[in-house]
């Protein structure tokens, strides 16, 4: 069998991060970083138009970023949220970002997570989720399927101690999806060829 | 930032697989392998009581196995299903196990997937899911939270070209969960300390 599965970030990520401060005080600062990374992932042809960042909620210190890596890595679970959460857990040496003694952590994403990433968020230990939007726009623009979310998904987050902030810089996020769609790029849409 | 996240299987997996044939003709053969791996993961203290296998649906040829690796790897997304699907995709060099030209693939798991793995299954390219059970027994025995599944999750699978076979060797699977619970082991239950 194979020895291991390796999830890596594109080479441009680290130099790009070096252009920024380590701390992103406002939610807008955090979302702007994430949206800019979603666009750079398109321009560098290193994955789909999605990016995410894990921050310390209170201070805004960046812990880890992730971008969609499905096609380049040949790994259908390498969505931006899972990449960001996994790098954050690796960096801190924990499987639970909500472990006692750690500061609260927040995940910032340039759109509502798909059902897989929704579940990943539940088990990650973050206590705050910030998204640019959750309406049908993204699916309509890109053709991506978010999967069957629980009808009461927001309350189900809250039941598990995760608060949601929605509709932050929605227009800016949609601009990137439109940019992606205009290029005629494909968002991998599992099983669409079979249904 | 960190260079990469590495998902690895325990050292005992390869020698254990070498004791088996490469092909598992019946569904029972496949599930028995998976249940035996779920128990070995407990006995070797290499993760939670869950295992999964990706097989060629028609022939039963084993493509990849996975076991739960959350605690040992410090990675909350390293559930058995995600590990098995990722190794299968790596082995075949595809992000879509349903890619044209490939044989149909099946995922066999020793219980119903949690909401994260349910989503991962949707995007993986498998066309058949076989599980030992989906009733509340596993959650009751282990205390694990499966997360908020869509009420119509079976039809939502089928809409995306994935058929489900449920309740295969359920008692054998539950025996392993009871064995796990009797040892007083903890299944990581995200955020239970905050709700």
Maximum distance among all Cα pairs of chain A, rounded to whole angstroms = 48
Buried/exposed code over A70-105 (b: 16+ C-beta within 10 A; e: otherwise):
bbbbbbbbbbbbbbbbbbbbbebebbbbbeeeeebb
From chain A, the residues in CB contact with B70 under 8 A are 95
Residue A190: what pLDDT? Answer: 54
- Residue A66 per-residue DSSP state: E
- Residue B45 per-residue DSSP state: T
Contact between chains at A1 and B87 (C-beta distance less than 8 A): yes
Q: Are A119 and B76 in contact (CB under 8 A)?
A: no
Q: Are B175 and B32 in contact (CB under 8 A)?
A: no
Partners of A55 in beta bridges: A62, A106
Chain A contact probe: residue of B17, B150, B191 with most A CBs at under 10 A: B191
| Calpha distance B35→B39 (Å, rounded) | 6
Interchain CB contact of A99 with B (< 8 Å): no
From chain A, the residues in CB contact with B75 under 8 A are 86, 89-90, 95
Backbone angles phi and psi of A6, in degrees to 5: -115, 125
A173 min Cα distance to partner chain B (Å) = 23
User: Coil, strand or helix: which one is A186?
Assistant: coil
Find where tokens 């020895």 sit. A3
How many other C-beta atoms lie within 10 A of the C-beta of residue A25?
A: 11
Residue A98: what pLDDT? Answer: 97
**Average pLDDT, integer, range B24-51:** 97
DSSP for A130-179, please give it: EES--STHHHHHH--------TTHHHHHHHTT-EEE--SSHHHHHHHHHH
Which residues fall within 8 angstroms of residue A98, CB to CB, at 6 or more apart? A104, A105, A125, A126, A127, A161, B190, B191, B193, B194
Residue A41: what pLDDT? Answer: 98
Residue A193: what pLDDT? Answer: 42
From chain A, the residues in CB contact with B128 under 8 A are none
The answer to which of A105-119, B70-84, B114-128, B130-144 has the lowest mean pLDDT is: B130-144
Sign of CA dihedral B69, B170, A119, B127: positive
User: Coil, strand or helix: which one is B192?
Assistant: coil
**Average pLDDT, integer, range B143-156:** 94
**Token couple for B12:** 């005992």
**Average pLDDT, integer, range B140-154:** 93
Nearest neighbour of B115 by CB, restricted to A17, A96, A119: A119
- The mean pLDDT of chain B is 93
Q: State the ipTM, two decimals.
A: 0.95
Interchain CB contact of B159 with A (< 8 Å): yes
Interchain CB contact of B20 with A (< 8 Å): no
Is the pTM higher than 0.90?
A: yes
From chain A, the residues in CB contact with B65 under 8 A are 1
Q: Could you tell me the pLDDT band of residue B186, with boundaries at 50, 70 and 90?
A: low
**Token couple for A28:** 């807008």
Residue B195: what pLDDT? Answer: 36
Residue A162: what pLDDT? Answer: 98
Q: Could you tell me the pLDDT band of residue B194, with boundaries at 50, 70 and 90?
A: very low
From chain A, the residues in CB contact with B115 under 8 A are 115, 118-119, 122, 150
Chain A contact probe: residue of B14, B92, B115, B158 with most A CBs at under 10 A: B115
**Average pLDDT, integer, range B151-164:** 97
| Calpha distance B165→B130 (Å, rounded) | 5
B72 min Cα distance to partner chain A (Å) = 9
A182 min Cα distance to partner chain B (Å) = 24
Which residues fall within 8 angstroms of residue B115, CB to CB, at 6 or more apart? A115, A118, A119, A122, A150, B146, B147, B148, B149
Residue B3: what pLDDT? Answer: 85
Residue B2: what pLDDT? Answer: 52
**Average pLDDT, integer, range B127-139:** 95
> For every one of its 195 residues, what pLDDT tens digit does chain A have, with 9 covering 90 and above?
458 999 999 999 999 999 999 999 999 999 999 999 999 999 999 999 999 999 999 999 999 999 999 999 999 999 999 999 999 999 999 999 999 999 999 999 999 999 999 999 999 999 999 999 999 988 899 888 899 999 999 999 999 999 999 999 999 999 999 999 998 766 655 554 443
| Calpha distance B30→B41 (Å, rounded) | 17
Residue B18 burial (10 A CB sphere; 0-12, 13-18, 19+): exposed
Q: Are B155 and B186 in contact (CB under 8 A)?
A: no
Which chain B residue is nearest to residue A98, measuring alpha carbons? B191
């Amino acid at each position: 069998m194979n020895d291991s599965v390796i999830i890596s970030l594109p080479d441009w990520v680290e130099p790009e991060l070096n252009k920024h401060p380590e701390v992103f005080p406002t939610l807008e600062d955090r979302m702007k970083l994430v949206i800019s990374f979603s666009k750079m992932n398109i321009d560098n042809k290193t994955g789909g138009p999605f990016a995410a960042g894990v921050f310390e909620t209170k201070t805004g210190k960046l812990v880890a970023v992730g971008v969609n890596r499905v096609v380049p890595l040949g790994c259908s679970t390498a969505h931006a949220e899972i990449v960001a959460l996994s790098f954050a857990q690796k960096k801190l040496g924990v499987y639970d970002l909500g472990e006692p003694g750690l500061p609260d952590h927040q995940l910032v994403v340039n759109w509502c997570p798909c059902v897989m990433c929704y579940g990943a968020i539940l088990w990650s230990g973050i206590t705050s989720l910030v998204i640019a939007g959750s309406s049908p726009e993204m699916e309509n623009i890109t053709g991506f399927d978010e999967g069957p979310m629980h009808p009461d998904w927001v309350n189900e987050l809250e039941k598990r101690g995760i608060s949601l902030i929605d509709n932050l810089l929605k227009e800016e996020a949609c601009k990137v999806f439109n940019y992606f769609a205009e290029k005629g790029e494909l968002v991998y849409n599992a099983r669409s060829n079979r249904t």
